[in-house]
Structure 1
Amino acid sequence: MAQTIQSTLPTKRIVSKAHLDAWLDSPTHADVVRFVEQLNQSVVGVKLTDTVEESQAVSALVSVLDQVEQIYHDTPPVDNGKSRFGNPAFRDFYDKVAARAPELHARIPGLDSAYVNELCVYFCESWGNRTRVDYGSGMELNFICWLLCLQKLGVISEEDSKAIVIKVFWKYMRIARLLQSGYWLEPAGSHGAQGLDDYHFAVFIFGSAQLRDHKYLRPKCIHDNEILDEFAKDYMYLSYVRYINSIKTASLRWHSPMLDDISGVRQWAKVNDGMLKMYRAEVLAKLPVAQHFLFGALLPYPDAPELEAHHEESDVHVDSHGHLHVRGESEFSSCCGIAIPSGFAAAQAAKEAAGGAGGLRSVGDQAGVRRIPFD
C-alpha cells in the first residue's frame, strides 16, 4: 500500500478534543498500538546479552544511530554560565542531524527514496525539541513511529522485531541518555506526570516484557541494589531503574512514585499488561501528548473534513507555551509551559553545594500523580 501513495511531510493535526477522539478511533492509532504490542511480544524472555540475529536492514539502522552518536561527541556542550536549563549546543546537534538525515537514510537498504523526507521528520524529532531544548515521551513516540514507517515500507519486517528492540531501540535509549545528560535537556510536556521517569515510557514496556516470565526475579527487586547491579546488563527495566537511581538522590518513592507503586505487584506479567494499558491511556490518549503526533502519508490522519476547522474552546485552552490542555486535566496545567531544570543539572548543583542537605526533588511536583492500578 505504501508504494502507491504520495509521500507528504508529517504535520500536527490534533487541535481539539474532537480531533483527539478521531485519532483514537483511527486506523493509524490502531497501527501504532499494534506495532508497540508486536515489539513487546517479541522480547518476552529475551535478554539484552542474548545473541540476536540481525538482518541487513537492522544492521543499517544501528549504523545510522552510530552516526548520530558520533555527531553528539563532535558537538560538546557550550559554557552556559550557571544555567541549569537546556544547553544551547543541543540546537547545533539537532541541525547537524537534520542536515545529515537524508544521507543517513540513503544508507538504509530497500528504502524508497520518495519517502526519505517524510521519514526524516520523525527521525529528527526523535532526539528532542530544537526550540525548547527538551525531551519527553512524545519524542520517544516519534522514534517508534519512524520504525513503524520503515516496517510499512517493507524495509524491516515483523521477523526483525526482536532485533529492533534489543539492538535498535536500546541503542536509541543509550544515545537519548547521552543527550539528556550532556545537554541537560529539560523534561518535556508533562514533566514525568506518569510518575515513571522524566523522559521515557516505552523502555518500561519492553523492559517488563523481557522479565514477563522470569522464574526468580520479582518486581520488588528494583529496590535491591545488588540485583540491579548484577542484572542491569540483561534487562532494560532494571538497567533504567539503576540509571535513575544514579542521578537522583531521593528515594524512588519521591521522584518516580508509579515505579515504586508497581514494584508491589507480584508478577511481571501484570506489570507488562499494565504498562501497555497505561501507555494507551496516558500517552496516546492524552491531548497534551497526542497534540504533537505527526501525521503524513504513511501514518495518515483520519479523513474527517468536518474537523479541519473544529475547535472546542469550552473544552480546550492553549497555555503560554503553545500547548493544548483539556480543562479539568489538572495534572498538566500546573507544569506544562513552566521551565523545569534538567534533573542532571539539579544533581550537579547538589554535588557542588558543600554540605547540601536532604534528597533531591528534581523534576516537577508529583503530589498530584493519578494512581493507575496494576492489580
Structure 2
Amino acid sequence: MEDSGNHHHHSDDHDHNHHPSSSSPPTSGTCCKCGGPTTFAPPPQTPTFTSPPPTYRPIRAPAIPPDPNSTRAIILAPVPQSQKVPILPPPHHFIAPAKRIHSPDDIVRFHSSDSSKNFLGFVVALSESIRAKKISDPCHVSPATTSLLSILQTLTLIADQTPPLPQSARYGNVSYRTWHEKMSNSAESLIQTLLPENLHPATVELAPYFADSFGNSSRIDYGTGHETNFAAWLYCLARLGVIGEEDYPAVVARVFVKYLDLMRKLQLQYCLEPAGSHGVWGLDDYHFLPFIFGSSQLIDHKYMKPKSIHNEDILENFSNEYLYLACIAFVKKVKKGVFAEHSPMLDDISGVPNWNKVNTGLLKMYKAEVLEKVPIMQHFLFGSIIKWE
C-alpha cells in the first residue's frame, strides 16, 4: 500500500471525526470518507490516485450503500450456532442435484429447513475449529484431507499448464474457459479418489457442487456463491462420513487455505470478474468465508486487534499465519488508493473492539448477505445429500 502513513493516522479514527492533519490548511472541504462538510480540506493525494490504475476493478452496476433496515436486522439477528453434521443413513439414492431457489419465498422456505440450518452450523463449526490457532499449527491430517489437497494441487497444475491468452480486454481471459473445461472433465475421477467404492455413486451428486466451486466459465467470473459451493461440497463429504469433526482444523488450515491460494491464482491469471459484486459496499469482491475463519483465528490474540489491519508491519509478518490478515493484504495488493474509500466495510469492521464481535458479526452477515440473497442462492443445488425440504 503506497499510502501507509495515511492508514496509521486513520487506524484510530473510526468515528468519522474530521481531524486536522498537520499539513492541512484551515479551509473548508468535504470529508473524503462520508462526503460531509468539514472545516479542513482533505489531505492532498498523490497524482497516482487521480485515475484508476490498471488493477482497479470497475463495478458493473452502481454501488448501493447498505440498507439501514437490513443492517439493523443483521445486528439484531441471533448469532448462528455450530451444529454436528448428521451422517446420511443408507440406503443411498443419489440423484443429480438441481436448482430450487427462484424467489424470496423460496429463500424463506430454505432458511426454515433443517438442511439450511445444518449447513450454516457446519460453517460455524469449521470457524470454531480454528479458533485461536495459526495456519502452521500442527493438526490431524487424515487420508481424506491428503486426497483433498492432492485434488487442489492437480487443479493448480492445470492452471500452470493453461497460460492466459494475450487480449486487449482487461477482464475475463478466455483461457479460463479451457482451464474450467479441464477441471470439469476431471471432476468425477478426482472426486472418486476421495470416496470408498460403495460411495462412488455419490459422484453424480458431488461433481456439480465441485464444478461450481471455481467460478463460471461463460461469464468468466467468481464470487461468494461459488465459494459457498465449495463449502457445500465439503459439507456433503461430511454428510457422507468422508471427513469428520477431527478433520475440521485441517479442512480450514490446509484445504481451505489451498483452495484460497488456487482461487487467487485464477483471479489474477485469468482476470476473473467479481460475480455479483456490491462494489465498495461489499466485504470483498470475491470472498467471505476466509474473513469468518480468519477472525476466529485471532480471537483473544494478545496484541493483534481488529485495528491492526492498518499496520503494514503486522500484515507483512503475519498474513501467512492468519487468514483475515492475508485477505486484507490481498485486497491492498489488487486495489490501489485509500483503503477507507475502496473497502469501507472492512475499514468499519477495523473499529470493532474485539475479534469475537467481528466473528459473530460476520457469521450473521454471511447468512443475510450470501445465504439469504436470491441472486446468489438461485444457483445453489439440492439433491439427496442437501435436501430441498
The aligned amino acid for 1:206 is: F
Distance 1:286 1:106 in 2: 32
SS at match of 1:159: helix
Q: Is 1:195–2:282 an aligned residue pair?
A: yes
State how 1:333-352 maps to structure 2 within 5 Å: none
- Structure 1: gaps (5+ residues): 303-375
Counting aligned pairs with the same residue, the percent is 44
Deviation, structure 1 residue 194? 5.2
Deviation, structure 1 residue 109? 4.4
- The answer as to whether partners of 1:195 and 1:255 remain within 8 angstroms in 2 is no
State how 1:61-210 maps to structure 2 within 5 Å: 61-80=148-167, 82-110=168-196, 112-192=199-279, 195-210=282-297
Match of 1:234 in 2: 321
Match of 2:143 in 1: 56
- Structure 2: gaps (5+ residues): 1-87
SS at match of 1:3: coil
- The answer as to whether partners of 2:140 and 2:246 remain within 8 angstroms in 1 is no
- The answer as to whether partners of 2:280 and 2:343 remain within 8 angstroms in 1 is no
Match of 2:77 in 1: none
Deviation, structure 1 residue 4? 2.1
Max radius of gyration: which structure?
2
SS at match of 2:90: helix
Distance 1:176 1:221 in 2: 25
4+ residue runs over 3 A deviation? 190-194
Distance 2:148 2:280 in 1: 31
- The answer as to whether partners of 1:2 and 1:298 remain within 8 angstroms in 2 is no
Deviation, structure 1 residue 295? 1.0
Q: How has the CA–CA distance of structure 1 residues 2 and 116 changed in structure 2, closer, same or farther, with 3 Å as cutoff? A: farther
Task: Give CA-to-partner distance per residue, 1:39-93, whole Å, 9 cap, x none.
Answer: 010000110121222011101110111101111111111122x101211111111
Task: Give CA-to-partner distance per residue, 1:237-281, whole Å, 9 cap, x none.
Answer: 001101111111112212211100000011011000101010011
Deviation, structure 1 residue 141? 0.1
Distance 1:74 1:115 in 2: 29
- The answer as to whether partners of 2:144 and 2:243 remain within 8 angstroms in 1 is yes
Deviation, structure 1 residue 192? 4.8
The aligned amino acid for 1:29 is: S
Match of 1:274 among 345, 361, 364: 361
The aligned amino acid for 1:113 is: H
Q: Is 1:286–2:362 an aligned residue pair?
A: no
State how 1:276-355 maps to structure 2 within 5 Å: 276-302=363-389
Distance 1:193 1:162 in 2: 32
State how 1:19-38 maps to structure 2 within 5 Å: 19-38=106-125
Match of 1:248 in 2: 335
Deviation, structure 1 residue 195? 2.3
Distance 1:109 1:6 in 2: 16
- The answer as to whether partners of 2:280 and 2:344 remain within 8 angstroms in 1 is no
Distance 2:360 2:354 in 1: 10
Match of 2:55 in 1: none
Match of 1:363 in 2: none
SS at match of 2:214: coil
The aligned amino acid for 1:84 is: R
Q: How has the CA–CA distance of structure 1 residues 242 and 193 changed in structure 2, closer, same or farther, with 3 Å as cutoff? A: closer
Match of 1:332 in 2: none
Q: How has the CA–CA distance of structure 1 residues 74 and 2 changed in structure 2, closer, same or farther, with 3 Å as cutoff? A: farther
Distance 2:162 2:145 in 1: 26
Distance 1:6 1:190 in 2: 37
Query: What TM-score, normalized to structure 2?
Result: 0.75
Distance 1:237 1:70 in 2: 26
The aligned amino acid for 1:284 is: L
Task: Give CA-to-partner distance per residue, 1:144-167, whole Å, 9 cap, x none.
Answer: 000000000010001110000000
The aligned amino acid for 1:132 is: R
Query: What TM-score, normalized to structure 1?
Result: 0.78
Match of 1:6 in 2: 93
Match of 2:302 in 1: 215
